Amino acid sequence: MADFTLLVNGAPYRVQAAPEEPLLTVLRNRLQLTGTKFGCGEGECGACTVLLSGKAARSCITTVSSAAGSEIITIEGIERHGQLSPVQQAFLEEGAFQCAYCTTGMIVAATSLLQDHPHPTDEQILTAMDGNICRCGTYPRILAAIHRASAIMAQKKGADHARG
Ligand code: FES
Ligand code: FES
Contact 44 CB / ligand 1 (< 6 Å) = yes
pLDDT, tens digit (0-9, with 9 covering 90-100), for 111-152: 999 999 999 999 999 999 999 999 999 999 999 999 999 999
Residue 47 CA to ligand 2 center (angstroms) comes to 10
Contact yes or no for 96/103 (Cβ under 8 A): yes
Ligand 1 contact, 38 CB (< 6 A): yes
Tell me if 109 sits within 8 A of 125, measured CB to CB.
no
Q: Sign of the C-alpha dihedral, residues 79, 83, 85, 88? A: positive
Q: What percent of the chain has pLDDT over 90?
A: 92
Full-model pTM: 0.95
* Domains of the chain, start order: 2-77 (3.10.20.30), 86-163 (1.10.150.120)
Q: Which atom of ligand 1 is nearest to the CA of 48?
A: 2
